[in-house]
Chains A and B, each alone.
Chain A
């Protein structure tokens, strides 16, 4: 009888409810947030946390708590889209490189290696200046940065799978190229890719905030954690909650999703964690 190691589900069990909570709050921001994130009242600006405003008001009298919740929506949207862009591009390149091998492989992977060498933030900053500062472009830029990572992973796993026996069987059966890719290679790649995607997601959320923090992502008055932290910096001595509260939300979100990623790794391939 196979003994299931229940311990490896521990982390996921702990983090999954929180993950779902964050996703739900973000998607239903309009219902959860007590105030309109754009509604301002100059009379109550820079007020500390109170019964009415749980996390105080910012420099234009807007409710910080509501803006944090809508900020979650922005962050999660960018995270998901960036990962999708990265996955699509990365898997495409990786499978292509592994399947065709030879020159195709060399050229593609060389190019990926060089792009991979650029520090992510540097690339993100330059790309955003290139594309123009908006949420959509942030998704694109961050997604592009992820492509080499996903490509490498996909290629490595595809190569491992290629060496395995049942693939030879499929070739013997005379299945055409693309069918081999879809039926045999992809399913085995999915597991590690899922783990990688979760980690990438957290990093995307972090990168988006970093970009907005630098003024190169979503622009004010859009509620985004990054630009809230940045603007709050100017008021740090008068009203520290403006930047500290969104930062806490960011920290918490990234942490929970990283824990979830760790948990997934525990389940799918415990050896990877050690």
Chain B
């Protein structure tokens, strides 16, 4: 088992490095120089030159990367062009917020997907199966930013049950924190549930069609309990693999949702970085998001391999 873990880790590290290179290249080729973005209308040629020299932007790209990477490993992600504040601590403070939001959203997605998917599977080929499958497509087709706007309009503005945005830190008030994350989590979770409904449904159908049930019944185990334990066994691997990919989509989508709801996570930081051409911020925030997605995929993949390597191959195709 340790061999598998070690092997996976070995391929994980170069992936991160290459990903960071790609991001660095992408970010630094962004036109619209950072100098002008910060100085705006007061950007005289001397001011621009001074700015670029101060931040080392006049050096060749590979040197800039080496410098950045070297510092990044030690945890120093530079300072924001905009407000001269260290980027590392800011990103570190925001990561838990994004993870909380993404986890809540994913939880909502599972809460919706499991019962609906199970129902669809058990009523396979009947009317309700088709309805639920169509519902799954409906959920998956929902534009999350539009859903967010609709939810804000109805539940925040009209009924006043939730705040229109902003985030209450978890330490300050658990209830307040959950309330401020509720609408954003629904916007994200509902859309993700679409795919997860299908996974659940497929697992249930396979369980029903397999032979294990007959064998188990002959052994004398209660039908309901064994049914659900088999469904669990069949669904865990697909949920892990596909769920990890879906989680990746979700984390990417926080870039939009955090902006709409003004949640101070790393998603909104990415946008701030782009709009202000604040390279250190953009780089650090993008790196953080990518790292989270890679990590989740890595862990899910690893767990799946450890649990049942055969099924992993099946689901992949």
Interface residues, chain A, with chain B CB atoms under 8 Å away? 113-115, 117-122, 125-127, 129-130, 132, 156, 202, 206, 209-210, 213-216, 229, 232-233, 236-237, 240, 243-244, 247-248, 250-251, 254-255, 258-259, 262, 274
| Top 7 A-B residue pairs of the complex, sorted by shortest distance between their CB atoms | A119-B252, A247-B146, A255-B141, A254-B141, A121-B252, A129-B274, A129-B30
Main secondary structure of the interface of A (DSSP, over half): helix
Q: Among the listed A125, A236, A247, A259, which residue makes an inter-chain contact with B255, where contact means beta carbons less than 8 Å apart?
A: A125
Add 6 more A-B contacts to A113-B15, A237-B157, A244-B150 (CB < 8 A).
Answer: A118-B252, A121-B256, A122-B290, A243-B149, A251-B142, A255-B141
- A240: chain B residues at CB < 8 Å are 153
Flag the segment in B20-28, B88-96, B228-236 that touches A: B20-28
Query: Taking the nearest CB of chain A, how far is it from the CB of B13, in angstroms?
Result: 12
A262 — nearest CB in chain B belongs to which residue? B137
Q: Is the CB of B294 within 8 A of A117?
A: yes
B187-222, CB < 8 A from A:
202, 205
- B141: chain A residues at CB < 8 Å are 202, 206, 251, 254-255, 258
Q: Is the CB of A244 within 8 A of B149?
A: yes
Q: Is the CB of A156 within 8 A of B317?
A: yes
Q: Does B134 contact A (CB under 8 A)?
A: yes
Most chain B beta-carbon neighbours within 10 Å: one of A129, A229, A240: A129
B275 — nearest CB in chain A belongs to which residue? A215
B143 — nearest CB in chain A belongs to which residue? A250
- A274: chain B residues at CB < 8 Å are 202, 205
Q: Interface size (B, Cβ < 8 Å)?
A: 50
Q: Is the CB of B137 within 8 A of A117?
A: no
Interface residues, chain B, with chain A CB atoms under 8 Å away? 15, 18-19, 22-23, 26-27, 29-32, 133-134, 137-138, 140-143, 145-146, 149-150, 152-153, 157, 202, 205, 248-249, 251-253, 255-256, 259-260, 270-271, 274-275, 277, 282, 286, 289-290, 293-294, 297, 317
- A213: chain B residues at CB < 8 Å are 145, 256
Q: Is the CB of B137 within 8 A of A259?
A: yes
- B150: chain A residues at CB < 8 Å are 244, 247
Asked whether A258 and B140 contact (CB < 8 A) given A122-B270, A213-B145, the answer is: yes
Query: Taking the nearest CB of chain B, how far is it from the CB of A85, in angstroms?
Result: 18
- A258: chain B residues at CB < 8 Å are 137, 140-141
- A117: chain B residues at CB < 8 Å are 15, 19, 248, 290, 293-294, 297
Q: Is the CB of B255 within 8 A of A121?
A: yes
Asked whether A236 and B22 contact (CB < 8 A) given A229-B146, A247-B143, A274-B202, the answer is: no
Asked whether A114 and B15 contact (CB < 8 A) given A121-B256, A126-B274, A247-B149, the answer is: yes
Q: Is the CB of A122 within 8 A of B18?
A: no
Q: List 9 A-B contacts (CB under 8 A).
A: A114-B15, A117-B15, A117-B19, A156-B317, A202-B141, A229-B145, A236-B157, A244-B146, A247-B143
- B146: chain A residues at CB < 8 Å are 229, 243-244, 247-248, 250-251
- B251: chain A residues at CB < 8 Å are 119
- A210: chain B residues at CB < 8 Å are 143, 145, 256
**How far is B270's CA from A130's CA once the two chains are assembled, in angstroms?**
14
Q: Is the CB of B23 within 8 A of A126?
A: yes
Q: Among the listed A132, A206, A214, A250, which residue makes an inter-chain contact with B271, where contact means beta carbons less than 8 Å apart?
A: A214
- B282: chain A residues at CB < 8 Å are 126
Query: Taking the nearest CB of chain A, how far is it from the CB of B33, in angstroms?
Result: 12
Most chain B beta-carbon neighbours within 10 Å: one of A202, A232, A247: A247
Q: Among the listed B32, B202, B249, which residue makes an inter-chain contact with A119, where contact means beta carbons less than 8 Å apart?
A: B249
Most chain B beta-carbon neighbours within 10 Å: one of A122, A130, A244, A259: A122
- B134: chain A residues at CB < 8 Å are 259
Q: Is the CB of A118 within 8 A of B19?
A: yes
Q: Is the CB of B249 within 8 A of A130?
A: no
**How far is B205's CA from A125's CA once the two chains are assembled, in angstroms?**
39
Query: Taking the nearest CB of chain B, how far is it from the CB of A270, in angstroms?
Result: 12
Query: Taking the nearest CB of chain A, how far is it from the CB of B306, in angstroms?
Result: 21
Asked whether A114 and B18 contact (CB < 8 A) given A122-B289, A229-B145, A244-B150, the answer is: yes
**How far is B252's CA from A213's CA once the two chains are assembled, in angstroms?**
15
- A250: chain B residues at CB < 8 Å are 143, 146
Q: Is the CB of A236 within 8 A of B138?
A: no
- A248: chain B residues at CB < 8 Å are 146
Q: Among the listed B143, B253, B260, which residue makes an inter-chain contact with A209, where contact means beta carbons less than 8 Å apart?
A: B143
**How far is B226's CA from A30's CA once the two chains are assembled, in angstroms?**
61
**How far is B142's CA from A243's CA once the two chains are assembled, in angstroms?**
15
Q: Among the listed A119, A243, A251, A255, which residue makes an inter-chain contact with B290, where contact means beta carbons less than 8 Å apart?
A: A119
Query: Taking the nearest CB of chain A, how far is it from the CB of B288, in angstroms?
Result: 10
**How far is B34's CA from A129's CA once the two chains are assembled, in angstroms?**
12
Query: Taking the nearest CB of chain B, how far is it from the CB of A146, in angstroms?
Result: 14
**How far is B282's CA from A119's CA once the two chains are assembled, in angstroms?**
15
**How far is B141's CA from A257's CA once the two chains are assembled, in angstroms?**
9
A132 — nearest CB in chain B belongs to which residue? B31
**How far is B171's CA from A101's CA once the two chains are assembled, in angstroms?**
54
Most chain A beta-carbon neighbours within 10 Å: one of B138, B149, B153: B149
